[in-house]
Structure 1
Amino acid sequence: MEFKTLQVQIADGIAVVTLNRPPVNAQNAELRSDVIECFDTLSDMAEVACIVITGSGKTFSAGADIRERPNLAEKPGAYGRHNRLTRECHYAMVECSKPIIAAINGPALGAGFGLVMGADIWVASENAYVSMPEINVGLAGGVTYLQKYFSQSRARRMFYTGMQVSAQELYRLGLVEACLPPDELMPYAMGIAREIASKSPVALRLAKEAARMTLSMPQREAYRYEQGNTVALSKTEDAREAQMAFLEKRAPVYKGR
Structure 2
Amino acid sequence: MEYNTLKVEIADYVAVVTLNRPPVNAQNAENRAEITELFDLLSDMDEVRVIVLTGSGKVFSAGADIRERPNLAGKPGAYGRHNRLVRESYYAVAECSKPIIAAINGPAMGAGFGLVMASDIWVASKDAYVSMPEINVGLAGGLTFVRKYFSQSTARRMFFTGMKVSGDELYRLGLVEASLPADQLMPYCMELAHEIAGKSPTALRLAKEAARMTEVMPVRDAYRYEQGNTVALSKTEDTREAQLAFLEKRKPNFVGR
Specify the TM-score bucket, using the shorter chain as the normaliser: over 0.9
- Secondary structure of residue in 2 paired with 1:196: helix
Question: How many equivalent pairs are there?
Answer: 257
Q: Which residue number corresponds to residue 137 of structure 1?
A: 137
Q: Distance in 2 between matches of 1:73 and 1:227?
A: 50
Q: Which residue number corresponds to residue 228 of structure 1?
A: 228
**Aligned pairs for 1:237-252 within 5 A:** 237-252=237-252
1:126 aligns with 2:126: yes
**Aligned pairs for 1:119-198 within 5 A:** 119-198=119-198
- Secondary structure of residue in 2 paired with 1:61: coil
Q: What is the CA-CA distance between 1:85 and the residue it aligns to?
A: 0.4
Q: What is the root-mean-square deviation of aligned Cα atoms in Å? A: 0.5
Q: What is the CA-CA distance between 1:73 and the residue it aligns to?
A: 1.6
Contiguous gaps of at least 5 residues in structure 1: none
Q: Which residue number corresponds to residue 54 of structure 2?
A: 54
1:68 aligns with 2:41: no
Q: Distance in 2 between matches of 1:198 and 1:140?
A: 42
Cα deviation code 1:92-132 (max 9, x no counterpart): 00110000000000000000000101100000000000000
Q: Distance in 1 between matches of 2:148 and 2:104?
A: 19
TM-score w.r.t. the length of structure 2 is 0.99
Cα deviation code 1:1-48 (max 9, x no counterpart): 110000000000000000000000000000000100110000000000
- Secondary structure of residue in 1 paired with 2:4: coil
What amino acid is aligned across from residue 20 of structure 1 in structure 2? N
Q: Which residue number corresponds to residue 9 of structure 1?
A: 9
- Secondary structure of residue in 2 paired with 1:241: helix
Q: Distance in 1 between matches of 2:196 and 2:246?
A: 17
- Secondary structure of residue in 1 paired with 2:113: helix
Q: Which residue number corresponds to residue 255 of structure 1?
A: 255
What amino acid is aligned across from residue 191 of structure 1 in structure 2? E
What amino acid is aligned across from residue 227 of structure 1 in structure 2? Q
What amino acid is aligned across from residue 219 of structure 2 in structure 1? Q
Q: Which residue number corresponds to residue 84 of structure 1?
A: 84
Q: Which residue number corresponds to residue 42 of structure 2?
A: 42
Q: What is the CA-CA distance between 1:89 and the residue it aligns to?
A: 0.6
Q: What is the CA-CA distance between 1:74 and the residue it aligns to?
A: 1.9
Q: Distance in 1 between matches of 2:186 and 2:157?
A: 31
- Secondary structure of residue in 2 paired with 1:74: coil
Cα deviation code 1:156-198 (max 9, x no counterpart): 0100110000000000000000000000000000011000000
Q: Distance in 1 between matches of 2:66 and 2:148?
A: 26
Q: Distance in 2 between matches of 1:130 and 1:249?
A: 43
- Secondary structure of residue in 2 paired with 1:130: strand
Q: What is the CA-CA distance between 1:71 and the residue it aligns to?
A: 1.6
Q: Distance in 1 between matches of 2:127 and 2:241?
A: 43
Contiguous gaps of at least 5 residues in structure 2: none
Q: Which residue number corresponds to residue 113 of structure 1?
A: 113
Q: Distance in 1 between matches of 2:195 and 2:6?
A: 25
What amino acid is aligned across from residue 248 of structure 1 in structure 2? E
> Between the two proteins, what is the percent identity of the paired residues?
78
Q: Distance in 2 between matches of 1:247 and 1:191?
A: 25
